[in-house]
Amino acid sequence: MKLLLTSGGVTNPTIHAALVDLLGRPIEECHALCVPTAQWGHPLCGPGSVRGLVAAEPDFRHLSGLGWASLGVLELTALPTIGTERWVDWVRAADVLLVDGGDATYLCHWVRESGLADLIPSLHDTVWVGVSAGSMVMTPRISAYFVEWAGAPDDRGLGVVDFSLFPHLDAFPGNSLAHAERWAAGLGVPSYAIDEQTAVVVVDGSVEVVSEGRWTHFDA
């Protein structure tokens, strides 16, 4: 799977160009599934924000509203009840999964519980575009600093990549560089703090930061 791990989505021409390169053709020729699941685990999200994502409303112009050839919804909490014989083909037919933010531990739980985690290694050409928690879920650790779901057993992510992510750098009072430094110090893995104009691209284990904004790398 090819990863475009962002804080705020495809917010500038540099990230847009990286996405098109990962897709191998223009966005308007690609078929997308949006994944709203992480939103249900976060107290600041709910029916209104989920509607905005799936309806590609203006606030989601950097993700679901990019002009895809088609846009469907993949709600992970539903998948265990319908059987893999239905939903696996939906995922394989998609060019890209648009995985929105919310709570990364809740999302991690449902990526595993749904069976999507088992499918990921075989999705060689599929692009995963994460926003905030949708990016953090791919990392080994999220840190208790970002856990909002009361049911989270720990702060572990899927571990698809070997680094952690601190999103929304400078976007909120609690997301300053000083906060990021304290967050990184307790992780035990390399990490990046990224702002809304930055993304991390991962293809076949190769990692590249693409940015028109501010980002910082922390060693383990």
pLDDT tens digits along 21-30: 999 999 999 9
pTM for the model:
0.97
CB 30 within 8 A of CB 69: yes
Q: Tell me, what amino acid is at 7?
A: S
CATH of the domain at 54: 3.40.50.880
pLDDT tens digits along 149-208: 999 999 999 999 999 999 999 999 999 999 999 999 989 999 999 999 999 999 999 999
Average pLDDT, the chain: 97
Other C-beta atoms closer than 10 Å to the C-beta of 12 total: 18
In the prediction, which pLDDT does 34 show?
Answer: 98
In the prediction, which pLDDT does 70 show?
Answer: 98
In the prediction, which pLDDT does 44 show?
Answer: 93
Q: Which residue range forms the structural domain that includes residue 101?
A: 2-218
3-state DSSP call for residue 172? coil
Which CA distances in Å does 139 have to 76, 100, 133, 160, 200?
19, 15, 10, 6, 12
Per the structure, how many domains does the chain have?
1
For CA atoms 105, 110, 111, 112, the dihedral sign is: positive
In the prediction, which pLDDT does 201 show?
Answer: 98
Angle, vertex CA 102, rays to CA 212 and CA 65, nearest 5? 55
Best CA proximity match to 114, nearest among 147, 71, 158: 158
CB 199 within 8 A of CB 18: yes
In the prediction, which pLDDT does 60 show?
Answer: 97
pLDDT tens digits along 39-88: 999 999 999 999 999 999 999 999 999 999 999 999 999 999 999 999 99
- Residue for token digits 């895809």? 68
Q: Whole-angstrom Cα distance, residue 117 to residue 128? A: 12
pLDDT tens digits along 85-126: 999 999 999 999 999 999 999 999 999 999 999 999 999 999
Q: What are the start-end ranges of the H helices in the chain?
A: 13-23, 47-54, 84-93, 104-114, 116-119, 133-136, 177-185
Best CA proximity match to 183, nearest among 194, 175, 195, 173: 175
In the prediction, which pLDDT does 48 show?
Answer: 96
Best CA proximity match to 184, nearest among 196, 197, 169: 169
